[in-house]
Amino acid sequence: LVTSRVSGRSVPLTRSMWDKKMTQYKKHKLDVIGEGIHYQ
């Protein structure tokens, strides 16, 4: 079980929620990197 710090308290995340968050985070990072390359 993974906990995420939200508003000063620990909120348990299910595995699927965590995977979804990480997928979105990685996608966002890739988008940012892609834009960085695009604008160079």
Q: What pTM, to 2 d.p., does this model score?
A: 0.45
Overall number of domains in the chain: 1
- Reduce the DSSP state of residue 8 to 3 states and report it: coil
Domain that holds residue 14: 2-39
Q: pLDDT grade, residue 32 (50/70/90)?
A: confident
> How far apart, in whole angstroms, are the C-alpha atoms of residue 14 and residue 17?
5
Among 27, 28, 3, residue whose Cα is nearest residue 17: 3
Note the pLDDT of residue 22: 86
Q: Does the structure show a pLDDT above 60 at 1?
A: no
Contact at 8 Å (CB) between 21 and 27? no
